Structure 1
Amino acid sequence: MSNPSLLLLADVLGRADLRDAVERNLATTLDLIGPDGTVETVHSRRQDQNHPFRLAPYLPHFRLLAIRTGRGDFSRAARLAAAGGIDDPDLLAGTLLTPDLCRALPTPAVQTLPRDRYLTTARLAVRASATAHTVVYGGSDVPEHRRIRSGLACNPTFLRLFAGDAVLDAVRLSRGFFDLGPFRAAAMRQLADGRYRLTETLTAAYYQPLPPDRRRGDGVYRMADEGRFSAAMAFPDRPQDEVSHTTRVEVDLREDGADLRIGISGPRVPWALELTFRPGGVPEGAVPIGDGRWCLTTGPMTYRAGDDEIRVEAGVEAGEPLAGPDRSDVLRYDPGQDYTVVGGTDATTGNRVYIGGHGPHTLTVALRARRPAPVL
């Protein structure tokens, strides 16, 4: 609602600065438009962070500013927003109140490819080419707040890859460390053009017996929140043995996909990399393990949808051999206790391919998009 409100106030109050704020917002949105006509929301703090958001609601804003500024890139976005048809009943009223919406659009600008964008405040990077559109995200609020809450960016997806009809909707990394949930980067650093490092360190504690002078004969202690759970155990008064677990993911964005190097250090705990592909394609080269799931070890696999495909190949640089298809206890997604304590989950749906094992590990994963050459 911010854009229409600001545009209305800009007209009523004669505030050009408010219109400029909307123009900056829409200019940023241009780089968040996926090949499927949706706007990236993985970084959102609203309910739409887990669902596709269509470009259509942006139609009047892109159209109005394209007409008033002459921007061809906004004109292209307005045409794309209207491509699926118009089902906004407010748009008719908008044209009556803002007649400029009925004027002809300027000539749409040709999209420039390849292009890169790194939004430092959202910790979100996008690389788009004629072959692949890749999103890398490391801006979750959960590491700071240690809570799953409404109003926080909680989605643990850290990469998406579009290759025409073949779409890798979500890459997530699940760890079995004190039931603290999947990898959500606490920091994201740009190492070079198209190269990023995402990191998170989790720390938990084993609580030892209370010192003799803090023990009560009646066994009644104050209720306390430990950060992971609550109990009447006087946690602040107990000696602690802390344990840490660190995950580092380096992403090198390419015109045809991405190279991942994943480092998992700390105690020997299970982990699983989950690659969720959009339904409509066929996995080839991975072993089916039931319920729409597949296992991948060190051999390559391909997800093919029509003439488009995404190839995945994993390799182990350090650590034990990867888990085979018989290890369903490892090859699964664990949402963490914030969800499971109430019987909930934020698990994805679709065709899910798992690569897993017991850390520590250093793993490489190559993601390659392949599409037919365009007909000229």
Structure 2
Amino acid sequence: MLLFLPAEVSMVRDEAFLGLLTKLNEAQIPAVLETCRSPADSVRASARKARRLVSGYVWEQSAHHHDETLIEPLEFLAERLAASQHDDGTWDLGNLHSPPDSAFAIQDLCLSWALLDGDGQPATVRSRDVLERVIRQAGPALATGGVHTPNHRWEVSAALARVNQLFPDQRYADRIDEWLAEGIDATPDGSYSERSSTYASEVTNPSLLTIARLHRRPELIAFVRRNLDATLYLLEPNGEVDTIASRRQDQTRIRDIRWYLTQFRELALLDGDGRFATVAKGIETRTADSLDAGGPDAGAVGAVGDFLAEVVERPQLAGVLPVAVPVRDDFVHEFPSQQLARIRRGSRTASVFGGTDFHDVPVIASGLSTNPTFFKFRTGAAVLDSVRLSPQFFGTGHFRSNGLRRTGPASFELGDEVRVPYHLPLPQQYRSDDGGYALSSDGRFYSSMDFGRRPKQYRSLRTTVAVTEVAGGFDLDFELSGSDVPFAIELCFRAGGVLGGVDALDADGNYQLVGGAGVYSVGEDSIEFGPGNGATRVAMDPGEQYTQLNGSLVPDGLRVYLTGRAPAYYTLNLRAS
């Protein structure tokens, strides 16, 4: 298998790919030299800056190849890393004495040491000695320490695989096997338990590939292959990756497929997969175009230069890709583990999401999917990033669907019923003369009322949203019943476009569609929406869990509100125009 071919195997190289990474790394180095002494840098930032210097120094095609001006900054970074390392081999990175956070830095440092050692220049002996001491000191900590999140297990294991490759120790191999024995947290539909593009692309997939190669566990490649295949259905025409179902911080962020570059290359070369080759080449083309154009995204694009270290380490990654095969762009695809559906018709895409964790774990916390966005729609450059619904019902906040049900070839139903109790007197056997009762939750707030033992009377609100693909777009049929309450539907369009047919409200970025149809346009691409449902102003209620902490669920962009009062039946038309 390609993954296990020795680095010296002769092969035709993709010179355009190598040229792009070289150019990107050359652009990184001046910034590293300017900022490498910044006291604000974390250990991970210092380790990554060292890796960038090493890449340029050892790479024969780089303008910085064996550039002596890189030696002193590299030595400075190595010494800083050694000085900040605890005696137990870990560092503090927000988390104290953190094995998983240390593992991120160690992966970079192992790669840097290996590249410098293979290059063998006398000028780097001091840096190599310091880095070796740091790596050897960290190994036992990684082999005995713990983690916080699912992806940490694979990051730590990959770091141990790298340390073990350089400085073998059976304890490291044993610990990797111990973590792997827990099983990989992958679902049949290709996602990992965190459902995160960020962690799949930057942590889990690279780590599993490293473990597969260095720890001789080729069966792990299948998990990466399945995740990349699933990612094809989350891919937007402009290279973004849908993150609506994530349980991590990217659930409300924009992510780009560029961070998957070497994974798609590796599996394309390994499997001869033309689809993966298409994605890899698309990343390279967009990166080159963005680099030439400059602009606000230049920093993120420039970070693609970090992949040069991997390619210098493993020249096979720069092989000529197999013949490109078009990636499917006409489908309806479901992700059962995420209660997510993706619909694509060429340059038009939509996401329908009913898989938040709120119904199983009704709190707002890191590691949970709580994003109340349940629908997204785009056509070309016109992007509706979010559709949300908020009834004013006892401070329970946004509608979050309890699952997703397919009702037709391209139609789905979302739904939920919220029940809020009024609490009746305690039964006699639970009463206390001193009035002291357990502090407990009624689902929205806490009081010393022993809520669990009280009989209750309920008010309820039932909500369904039927999503149906129609010619040129979608219809969203809203039905709210059971209580008489006002509600607001929020459409959040991406900043950069122009709105028409709407009225500006009090706050910047807030608009209301009172009647007729509105339109959002970016260049020649437009989304028409409506009809308006009246002039009553209804505020979006994020719920008591947010308001008690002064939190906010206001999305970034141009927000258009449509309002009404339950019981109600309302159809929102969304059309590409």
Cα contact 1:134–1:257 (8 A) shared by 2: no
SS in 2 for 1:121: coil
Determine the structure 2 residue equivalent to 1:23.
225
Q: Which amino acid aligns with 1:343?
A: N
Among 549, 563, 568, the residue aligned to 1:356: 563
1:59 aligns with 2:261: yes
Offset, 1:297:
3.6
Offset, 1:123:
1.1
Offset, 1:215:
4.5
1:263 aligns with 2:479: yes
Offset, 1:216:
4.2
Cα contact 1:129–1:255 (8 A) shared by 2: no
Change (3 A) 1:131 1:81: closer
Determine the structure 2 residue equivalent to 1:121.
337
Cα contact 1:173–1:182 (8 A) shared by 2: yes
In the alignment, the residues of structure 1 paired with residue 550 and residue 278 of structure 2 have an alpha-carbon distance, to the nearest angstrom, of 45
Among 223, 243, 247, the residue aligned to 2:439: 223
Cα contact 1:314–1:363 (8 A) shared by 2: no
After alignment, is 248-257 or 46-55 more displaced?
Answer: 248-257
CA-to-partner distance for each residue in 1:205-249, whole Å, 9 max, x for gaps? 011344566554443322112221110122234331112111101
After alignment, is 179-188 or 72-81 more displaced?
Answer: 72-81
Determine the structure 2 residue equivalent to 1:41.
243
CA-to-partner distance for each residue in 1:136-172, whole Å, 9 max, x for gaps? 1111101221111111111110111111221101000
Offset, 1:179:
0.9
Determine the structure 2 residue equivalent to 1:308.
525
Cα contact 2:388–2:490 (8 A) shared by 1: yes
Among 91, 100, 122, the residue aligned to 2:307: 91
Offset, 1:200:
0.9
Determine the structure 2 residue equivalent to 1:346.
553
In the alignment, the residues of structure 2 paired with residue 51 and residue 313 of structure 1 have an alpha-carbon distance, to the nearest angstrom, of 26
Determine the structure 2 residue equivalent to 1:134.
350
In the alignment, the residues of structure 2 paired with residue 120 and residue 114 of structure 1 have an alpha-carbon distance, to the nearest angstrom, of 19
In the alignment, the residues of structure 1 paired with residue 376 and residue 468 of structure 2 have an alpha-carbon distance, to the nearest angstrom, of 13
Q: Which amino acid aligns with 1:352?
A: R
CA-to-partner distance for each residue in 1:20-74, whole Å, 9 max, x for gaps? 2111110000110112321111111111111111211100100111111111111
Cα contact 1:129–1:256 (8 A) shared by 2: no
CA-to-partner distance for each residue in 1:313-341, whole Å, 9 max, x for gaps? 238xxxxxx440xx33x1x3221111110
In the alignment, the residues of structure 2 paired with residue 236 and residue 117 of structure 1 have an alpha-carbon distance, to the nearest angstrom, of 42
Determine the structure 2 residue equivalent to 1:285.
501
In the alignment, the residues of structure 2 paired with residue 310 and residue 169 of structure 1 have an alpha-carbon distance, to the nearest angstrom, of 12
Identical columns (%): 37
In the alignment, the residues of structure 1 paired with residue 224 and residue 475 of structure 2 have an alpha-carbon distance, to the nearest angstrom, of 35
Q: Quick check: which one's helix share is greater?
A: 2
In the alignment, the residues of structure 1 paired with residue 428 and residue 563 of structure 2 have an alpha-carbon distance, to the nearest angstrom, of 44
Cα contact 1:144–1:186 (8 A) shared by 2: no
Determine the structure 1 residue equivalent to 2:544.
337
Cα contact 2:515–2:534 (8 A) shared by 1: no
SS in 1 for 2:367: coil
Unaligned stretches of 5+ residues in structure 1: 316-321, 371-376
Offset, 1:89:
5.0
Cα contact 2:232–2:327 (8 A) shared by 1: no
SS in 1 for 2:531: strand
SS in 1 for 2:234: coil
In the alignment, the residues of structure 2 paired with residue 105 and residue 35 of structure 1 have an alpha-carbon distance, to the nearest angstrom, of 21
In the alignment, the residues of structure 1 paired with residue 467 and residue 376 of structure 2 have an alpha-carbon distance, to the nearest angstrom, of 12
Determine the structure 1 residue equivalent to 2:450.
234
Offset, 1:131:
4.3
1:193 aligns with 2:405: no
In the alignment, the residues of structure 1 paired with residue 283 and residue 354 of structure 2 have an alpha-carbon distance, to the nearest angstrom, of 28
Cα contact 1:72–1:106 (8 A) shared by 2: yes
SS in 1 for 2:371: coil
Q: Quick check: which one's strand share is greater?
A: 1
Cα contact 1:126–1:133 (8 A) shared by 2: yes
- Tell me which of the two structures has the higher relative contact order, counting C-alpha pairs closer than 8 angstroms and 6 or more residues apart: 1
SS in 2 for 1:203: strand
Cα contact 1:35–1:162 (8 A) shared by 2: no
Cα contact 2:354–2:401 (8 A) shared by 1: yes
May I ask how many residue pairs the two structures share in their alignment? 360
In the alignment, the residues of structure 2 paired with residue 37 and residue 154 of structure 1 have an alpha-carbon distance, to the nearest angstrom, of 25
Offset, 1:81:
2.5
In the alignment, the residues of structure 1 paired with residue 348 and residue 242 of structure 2 have an alpha-carbon distance, to the nearest angstrom, of 15
SS in 1 for 2:474: strand
In the alignment, the residues of structure 2 paired with residue 253 and residue 222 of structure 1 have an alpha-carbon distance, to the nearest angstrom, of 50
In the alignment, the residues of structure 1 paired with residue 276 and residue 519 of structure 2 have an alpha-carbon distance, to the nearest angstrom, of 36
Determine the structure 1 residue equivalent to 2:387.
171
Change (3 A) 1:104 1:86: farther
Q: Which amino acid aligns with 2:228?
A: L
Q: TM-score, normalised by structure 2?
A: 0.60
In the alignment, the residues of structure 1 paired with residue 343 and residue 466 of structure 2 have an alpha-carbon distance, to the nearest angstrom, of 15
1:70 aligns with 2:287: no
In the alignment, the residues of structure 2 paired with residue 360 and residue 239 of structure 1 have an alpha-carbon distance, to the nearest angstrom, of 27
SS in 1 for 2:399: coil
Cα contact 1:188–1:197 (8 A) shared by 2: yes
1:247 aligns with 2:247: no
Among 284, 287, 294, the residue aligned to 2:511: 294
In the alignment, the residues of structure 2 paired with residue 160 and residue 236 of structure 1 have an alpha-carbon distance, to the nearest angstrom, of 39
Determine the structure 2 residue equivalent to 1:374.
none
Offset, 1:188:
0.7
Cα contact 2:378–2:384 (8 A) shared by 1: yes
Determine the structure 2 residue equivalent to 1:319.
none
CA-to-partner distance for each residue in 1:280-308, whole Å, 9 max, x for gaps? 11111122223222212441111111111
Offset, 1:344:
0.6
Q: Which amino acid aligns with 1:69?
A: D
Q: Which amino acid aligns with 2:550?
A: G
In the alignment, the residues of structure 1 paired with residue 217 and residue 333 of structure 2 have an alpha-carbon distance, to the nearest angstrom, of 29
Cα contact 1:45–1:152 (8 A) shared by 2: yes
